[in-house]
Amino acid sequence: MTLKIEGNALLQDAIQWEQLLRYPERPFVRHRLDATGPLRLGRTLLASGHGATVSIIIPTLDADRGGYLPRLLRQLEQQTYKGWELLLVLGDRRQGRAINAAAALAKGNLLLTLDDDTELGCRDSIERLVAAVGSDGTIGLAGGMNVIPKDASAFVKRVMREIPRRSTPAITHITDSDLAEHPMLLINKEAFFQVGGENEMIPRGLDPYLREAFRKAGYRVVVVPGAEYSHLPPSAMNALMKQFYRNGKAAAFVNRHYPQWAIETPSTHGSFRLHVAFPLRAVRFLFRQGYALLTGKLIWFLCEGAYALGFLHEWLFPTEQR
């Protein structure tokens, strides 16, 4: 397959766009939020001589993401693993619903979710993930290693070092971990249907929900060494603060309406408590802010503050009352 890209525009003969009059039927989805209006979907033709073992799913709002998506498509073309198809879901702000819609149409028996601002770190990242899942039938989700790019700006490098979960602690073997995340996540499609797919009801917390659903079903959730990618933060402080503010608002929405899905997200590998009482989380936040200041992690401190402001705004002035 040749992905033809000209500047920031995806050419029609590379991505075959189609307008579905309605969303695909998704009978496997346990927590469904039906959409009104049509679905716009982009596909690529399969490489000659290869079947679709992996269906790559990328939700995107504008099919560009400031040039990040065309760069990702070039990197996909260079991957050593060739048995894949590509499904772009355009315009749906509910990431879970977009992924479910593509999964319903996918031809592969494995699904690979990528964000439209993901950067692949090595040419064999997909191959490593597929090999890991193939080596152990109990692996349901296999995530990559989120690494700091060598050519990133000083600001981006600092953000990824300071803020928890912005990069993956090093490992040398396939490791059970909560750090398997949507920006590069290989999914057993049969198990995905079995656990009820993505949660379409929540705007935030999709990763922890899906990981816990797989664990409850008896599957392993792992991170694979060498399967490198980078999930880059915004490159400017104001954009980063706005992102954390939005995340805080979405977190408050989930805590208010779906507290059962407010699941912990540890910053290291290994076991952790699934749920922590809200008062304890509030106290922990204050200690974490103090620690960030004492250790000179100012960016982390400011981002956590923006998150808290967003959370408080949504908590005090709920969306449904505005």
Residues 167-184: what's their mean pLDDT? 96
Q: How many residues does the chain have?
A: 322
Lowest mean pLDDT among 48-52, 123-127, 137-141: 48-52
Residues 89-98: what's their mean pLDDT? 94
Band of residue 2 on the pLDDT scale cut at 50, 70, 90: very low
* Residue 3 one-letter amino acid: L
Query: What CA–CA distance (Å, rounded) separates 22 from 38?
Result: 5
Question: Dihedrals φ, ψ of 260, to 5°?
Answer: -65, -15
Residues 5-19: what's their mean pLDDT? 60
Query: What CA–CA distance (Å, rounded) separates 120 from 156?
Result: 16
What percent of the chain has pLDDT above 70?
Answer: 92
Token pair in block for residue 20 = 């579905």
How does pLDDT run across 231-246, given as a tens digit for each residue? 999 999 999 999 999 9
Residues 105-129: what's their mean pLDDT? 95
DSSP, collapsed to helix, strand or coil, labels residue 279 as helix
How does pLDDT run across 18-48, given as a tens digit for each residue? 888 889 999 999 999 998 888 999 988 655 4
The pLDDT of residue 254 is 95
The pLDDT of residue 46 is 57
pLDDT at residue 9 tops 50: no
What percent of the chain has pLDDT above 90?
Answer: 78
Q: If we measure between CA atoms, which residue out of 166, 265, 180 comes closest to residue 221?
A: 180
DSSP state of 310: H
Lowest mean pLDDT among 14-18, 66-70, 217-221, 254-258: 14-18
Token pair in block for residue 156 = 């981006």
pLDDT at residue 11 tops 50: no
How does pLDDT run across 103-116, given as a tens digit for each residue? 999 999 999 999 99
**Higher pLDDT pick, 322 / 149:** 149
The pLDDT of residue 47 is 54
pLDDT at residue 6 tops 80: no
Taken in order of first residue, the domains within the chain and their CATH numbers are: 5-235 (3.90.550.10), 238-321 (no CATH)
The pLDDT of residue 45 is 63
Query: What CA–CA distance (Å, rounded) separates 80 from 221?
Result: 24
Question: Dihedrals φ, ψ of 57, to 5°?
Answer: -115, 125
Query: What CA–CA distance (Å, rounded) separates 287 from 278?
Result: 15
The pLDDT of residue 154 is 96
Q: What is the CA radius of gyration of the chain?
A: 19
The pLDDT of residue 1 is 46
